[in-house]
Structure 1
């Protein structure tokens, strides 16, 4: 008799514990479902800054890719060729991403009006860098003129290396304000992140190019 009463009691305790555990697991599962954000949550819509940055930086990058491709084939120094390869690879990838965004947003690949007007989007203040000292005909700061590109194409050997480093350093420095503005004012997270990545990588490359010019007893272009 005592054993018979203990068995049902033990069984009842087991069932009660099992039920409690099941309820806890169910509650935890429901809590997770409540906390997980919906995949339908809308991403911020692209603003004039996102669109203008993607359009103008694509154009700016394209000239860098052209110069880097030339350097990869003609540079005398293997270190210059490696730098050119890195720049060409990174900026081709970035152009692809920016052009992909523009296509998704239903926007043209290039701006149809004046460049860099998106840097005046916050209350009318003009944050564009001064074009003072830029080559005649350069659409954006840092970009080489047609005459400078022709001269680069005509050079060979160590002279080519120096001029390439000078042009590319100025190109990086000229594009930095656009990347800074994009990193600060872009609404789309992917655009903001890409602009930040550009700043970091190009600052490192610019430091390297200054060192390489110093080693060759050459000065940056002004």
Structure 2
């Protein structure tokens, strides 16, 4: 109860700029919580062993079995492979790029919001500082109200500044953390896409250049 009263008292002394700061803080908290839940689900859905099985099937030219194994998974890497293999007749590389771009877009959702809050928080705090100082100077020269009002204006400026900086710090840490997660996912997607392309290319090359020994023996004069 005492803590709640202290928070409310500090909020009221921070001036009108505290309301947009409060709204920004709510947006930041909702975004961070949503990203934490999303990445937690991605971590649970990753299927490294299943990915190895898909590679093995592709290595033995069992594309249909690989598509069937990758279908219906929630793993972003497997979803990209499934989409690419399902559309490889037109352009495997383009299909993989489209699927990877979609997964990266989902992974990067919310980063723009956090990046904006990192910049917006201190600016709102600075605006509160200016308005607080302006309010304090309105009463300079009035000996009866100067002490109380000037100190109130300075308190408003300091509270707004501290709140804006705290909000920026709060958003900066998850922004960098989630940004690193997106980079790691991008690396996994690019690695998987490269492996799929190499496996299919190497297999088609083996089939294309395999020496037709039996036919050659039949066609050779004097054979048999």
TM-score (norm 2): 0.26
More helix by share: 2
Larger Rg computed on CA atoms: 2
The TM-score with structure 1 as length reference comes to 0.26
